[in-house]
Each structure stands twice: as structure tokens, then as C-alpha cells.
Amino acid sequence: MNDQWTDRLSEYVDGELANGERTALEAHLATCADCRATLGELRSVVARARALDDRAPKADLWAGVAKRIGAGTVVDIRSRRFSFSVPQLIAASIALILLSGGGAWLALKPRQTVAVTPRPDIGFKTLSVSTGRTDAAIADLQDVFERNKSKLDTSTVRVVQQAFTTIDRAIAEARTALEADPGNAYLNLHLADTMRRKLELLRRVNAIATAQS
């Protein structure tokens, strides 16, 4: 049976009828067994749809995906476009910071730091990079981050802290290498650059955390 209310039953199931229509339909349902039965069946269809299980593809499709994205080969991150303006992608910018420029040199191949030959044409006779002010700035920003981190996603905080650990290790290794070779121009510049990267990261994370509040 199909009456004037049958076509409105789906909207009723979904709670999309206006108050007046809903009241009128409910009055009709009280007297129409066919509509009540149809209503029950529609609800069963909706429940069945929501209970559908996702099924795996019959074959593993990863190999085809991997081939097309170049997985298994060296990924040229410079060819990828980045747009990290929200907390979730802070982590991506961290990775970029760590993998770009000289950061990777220490972060990925720390043992090579002592093998660098000083360039005699650059006049670093002693440790020329004074890091006192940068150390203080980093400490201040680190304090701000500790206060702000509750405003960020836990996943973001975790990745940020992992990044800090990696950067701090790179800084420590640079300092150690400089103790053995204080005149090394590359190491001096690299230490300054790595510290600058940490400052940039802290500023960025704190700015976004502040914007979240």
C-alpha cells in the first residue's frame, strides 16, 4: 500500500520532518498498520547499511601504489609542496627541517662530523660561534612551549618532542666535534644553523599553539 505519507517515511526516520509534519505523520502511523510496517522495514534497511563490514580487496594493492609513488626509491622531498599552517602538519615541517640542508648531515650521519677537513682559507682559529644568547632564547621558547603544549594535539606534541630530541642530539654532536676541532668553519656554521632551526621550530610551534587558544 502507498499513501500520501509513505514517501515521507524516510525523512521521518532521519528526523528531518518539521514539527507539524512529524506530529501529523505520527497521528497517521497510529492508525495505519501498513505505514507502521514500512517504517519498521526502512529502519531495518538503515540499520543494515550502517552495519556493513568493510572488506579487504582480494589482492594486495600496495605494490601498485608503491610503484606509482616511487616508494622504495629515494624520495626527493624538495619536489613535494609543503603547506604547514596547522598543528597536525607541524610534524611534517619538523621532518622537513631535519632533512633539509646541513641538518641531515648531523642528524643522519653524525659520525662523519669529525671527518670533515677544515678549510684553511676560512679563518676560524678558535670556536667563534658564541651561542650564549641563542641558548637563552631557546630556553625561553622551550618554557613557553611547555606551557602551551596542552593546546596542541597529543600526536603533534609527541612528534615535536621527538624532533627536539633529534635536533638536540645534532647540537650536542656538533659541540662535541667542535671541542676536537674548534677552528672548523663548517662545524661552527652548522652549529649556528642547527640552533637557528630549533629556534624557528619553537617559534612556529608556539605561534600555532597560541593561535589555538
Q: Applying CB under 8 A, which residues contact another protein?
A: 7, 9-11, 16, 38, 41-42, 44-46, 48-59, 61-62, 64-66, 68-72, 75-77, 80-83, 85-92, 94-96, 99, 153-156, 158-159
- Please report how close the Cβ of residue 9 comes to another protein at its closest, in angstroms: 7
Q: Of the two residues 147 and 158, which places its CB atom closer to another protein in the complex?
A: 158
Q: Report whether 199 contacts 97 (CB < 8 A).
A: no
**Residue 130: which region, alpha, beta or left (left: phi > 0; alpha: psi -120 to 50)?**
beta
List CB contacts of 96: < 8 A, sequence separation 6 or more: 77, 82, 84
Q: Report the 10 Å Cβ neighbour count for 32.
A: 17
Q: Of the two residues 61 and 114, which places its CB atom closer to another protein in the complex?
A: 61
- Please report how close the Cβ of residue 32 comes to another protein at its closest, in angstroms: 16
- Please report how close the Cβ of residue 87 comes to another protein at its closest, in angstroms: 6
Q: Of the two residues 43 and 109, which places its CB atom closer to another protein in the complex?
A: 43
Q: Of the two residues 77 and 114, which places its CB atom closer to another protein in the complex?
A: 77
Q: Of the two residues 44 and 210, which places its CB atom closer to another protein in the complex?
A: 44
> Which residue in the block uniquely carries the three cell numbers 648531515?
105
- Please report how close the Cβ of residue 28 comes to another protein at its closest, in angstroms: 17
List CB contacts of 148: < 8 A, sequence separation 6 or more: 205, 206, 209, 210, 213
- Please report how close the Cβ of residue 172 comes to another protein at its closest, in angstroms: 23
Q: Report whether 166 contacts 101 (CB < 8 A).
A: no
